[in-house]
Homo-oligomer: A and B are copies of this chain.
């Protein structure tokens, strides 16, 4: 029998190695085995699947104690995953990846922009179960009680239940008191997109600057099988994520017009 302590768990985050959510994710991960955690030096929200191509990156060990090693990296969340899998682990594949706990929702199309989900997706490429965990509050002091409780429960169910890999989960927890959470709901990604409003001012040098700010346009607010609906109705949403973005439904039409 494999001892719990022999399992290797990789943890990362996009809010940076000093964020409260990263510390919370490490505590969840410790329940499953030995933890190696790598997070960006600075907050990297909205970094998507970005990688650092034009600069070198620096790795620094910031914590080393029984069962937990933590590093900071001067790169993106996906850089952190690559650094762990392709350098630190020397070819060993961990038993589990946890990315988070993210401050802010990664439901719906946010999965495309999210550094948390970028790193979770990257982790899933290596063949271990990978879970991105987020709360829908942007408060740096957000209450992680529900995220920790349901995150651990979902991870345990998936690991013990033997759901086949590749497996990547986008788990979002509503920003409501723990006792009001109605349970866990397996969902699909909501259709919709972000429309932006650019907040614009003059800087002290009289140059006009713009700051991105916007809102999500939900294309199907009444669809009860979507992650946005689940969150709005008090459920923890679980969306399994895969990376084949081919729009198969368009192939016939394209073949027809491109033959001429």
Contacts and interface: CB of A to CB of B under 8 A. Distances in A.
Interface of A: 43, 45-54, 56-59, 78-79, 82-83, 86-87, 109, 111-113, 118, 121, 125-126, 154, 157-158, 160-164, 167-169, 184, 186, 188-189, 191, 193-198, 203, 207-212, 214, 238-251, 253-258, 260
A190 to B, nearest CB: 9
Contact of A242 (B79, B210, B247): B247
Contacts of A45: 53-54
**This chain: copies in complex:** 2
A14 to B, nearest CB: 11
A154 to B, nearest CB: 7
A242 to B, nearest CB: 4
A58 B212 CA distance: 11
Contacts of A48: 47-51, 118
Contacts of A154: 258
Given A45-B53, A47-B48, A191-B244, 13 more contacts: A46-B51, A48-B48, A48-B50, A51-B113, A57-B211, A86-B198, A111-B245, A158-B257, A162-B257, A167-B247, A167-B250, A240-B247, A242-B245
A184 to B, nearest CB: 5
Contacts of A46: 50-53
Contact of A164 (B49, B189, B238, B253): B253
A149 to B, nearest CB: 14
Given A111-B245, A163-B257, A242-B247, A50 B52 contact: no
Contact of A209 (B56, B87, B160): B56
Contacts of A195: 86
B255 A186 contact: yes
Given A87-B210, A193-B125, A254 B58 contact: no
Nearest to A76: B50
Given A48-B118, A83-B210, A188 B246 contact: yes
A244 B254 CA distance: 19
A189 to B, nearest CB: 5
With a 10 A CB-CB cut-off, give which of A126, A198, A241 has the most chain B CB atoms.
A198
